[in-house]
Amino acid sequence: MAYVATRGGERAIEQSQRLFREAMGDISADRIQEIRDAMPYLIDRVMGEASLYDEDLAALALAQAGGELYEAILLLRAWRTTQPRLALAAPVTQESLFTHRRISAAFKDIPGGQVLGPTLDYAHRILATEVLSGDTYVPTPVDPAEKPAPAQQPSVAAWQAENGLLTLPQADAVQGNDIPDVTREPLLFPAKRAHTLQSLARAETGGVLALGYAAQRGYGQAHPTVNELRLAEAEVVVTHPRGTRFSAGRVKVSQAEVVNKKGEQLELGFAATMGWNEVKVIAAATLDLNSDGAPKGSATEEEFFLYHTEGVESSGFCIHFKLPHYVTFQSSLDAMRDAKAKKAAKATTPEPAE
């Protein structure tokens, strides 16, 4: 390994950054507000992958990066390291979620019913090109029901357990700072389940989808059915110095369970993330369902999917290839030229006489 010190790029680097930022123009509080209000699902995706929940910061990162998602997430992950961790909230449970959407593809008549919530699942995908001709697209308002939906919806899995279809897990005794945390300790394999689920929660959506889709298409061992999909808000329950536990506010979360038959019972795969991102949690739950006993190097093997869906690491490794590799490439060229010269020399050297 060798390095060559060079100079002369300072001005070019400075101007290249100006060129990038000039294209976006001024960044004002109004722009941040507009991004935040107009693109909540993009904000959610960025917050989930950055593993940092704050809509204003996510909108600012998007504005600064010009919508380049990997840059925006890197900005947020870097900013996160400047902040102290003040507290650990109480664990969020499924039953406590303030639920906006809860559906099941496995059972029609689930307790609490099928509540679609905000979705374009059944919409015609028609581009509103009239906006480009000067019209304003005004969405048709919702006709609210007379009575509100229950804020909390029951668990589909609990109902299945009551009917002998699956066995509910024991409550985890690991609490607070004892919960394994991939931001403070290395990811080792076989991974602790807490590490796996945390890594999937902060994983890059496209990567999770690609590998989850591979499993769904047939490169996995189990075919998933969505047992329950939830978009909801979770209370962030912290502790007052006097010991009172209270909610410091709500954050949006997504959660998916996928199910497959295993012997005489059902087996669940699970995933959740901050923000509303259905594709990611369904794909991630599919990977969770398929990971047990997956062949080494397959898309559904834990080490394979966790390493390859960490967006900051994978995008960073990918783009590092465009940085100067002059010495290593010269070394390859030298080796190539040497082999060529040896081959030529061998061709011109006469065979010794018998």
Partner 1 sequence: MPDPQCLEDFAHDEMLRILARARADKLKVFAEPLIADLGDIEVLDNRSGLVMLPMQDTAQGTHFHLGEVLVSEAHIKAMGFEGYGMRRGRDLEAAMAMALVDLTVAAGIAHSECGAFLRQEAAHQAAQDRDTLRRVEATRVDMETF
Chain residues 36-75 in contact with partner 1, contact rule CB under 8 A: 47-48, 50-54, 56-57
Q: How far is the CB of 303 from partner 1 (least distance, A)?
A: 18
One-letter amino acid identity for 68?
E
| Under rule CB under 8 A, residue 170 binds partner 1 | yes
User: H/E/C letters for each residue in 180-238?
Assistant: CCCCCCCCCCCCCHHHHHHHHHCCCHHHHHHHHHHHHHHHCCCCCEEEEEEEEEEEEEE
What minimum distance in Å lies between the beta carbon of 20 and partner 1?
26
User: 262 vs 340, which CB is nearer to partner 1?
Assistant: 262
Beta carbon of residue 215, minimum distance to partner 1 (angstroms, whole number): 16
Q: Is 69 exposed, middle or buried (0-12, 13-18, 19+ CB in 10 A)?
A: buried
Find tokens 């006469």 and name the residue: 350
Q: Which is nearer to partner 1, 93 or 332 (CB)?
A: 93
Taking the C-alpha atoms of residue 176 and residue 281, their distance in angstroms, rounded to an integer, is 24
What strands, in cross-sheet order, belong to the sheet with 225-239? 98-103, 225-239, 245-262, 265-274
Distance in Å, CB of 53 to partner 1, minimum = 4
Closest contact distance (angstroms) between CB of 135 and partner 1 is 26
Q: Count residues contacting partner 1 (CB under 8 A)?
A: 91
Identify the helix (H) or strand (E) that includes residue 281. helix 278-290
Nearest to 51 by CA among 201, 169, 179: 201
Question: Which range touches partner 1 (CB under 8 A), out of 218-226, 230-238, 295-303, 306-314?
Answer: 230-238
Q: Which of 43, 209, 211, 234 binds partner 1 (CB under 8 A)?
A: 234
214 forms part of the interface with partner 1 (CB under 8 A): no
Q: Among residue numbers 84 through 123, which ones bind partner 1 (CB under 8 A)?
A: 84-94, 98-101, 108-109, 113-119
CA distance 214 to 297: 13
Binders of partner 1 in range 246-275 (CB under 8 A): 246-251, 253, 255, 257, 268-270, 272-274
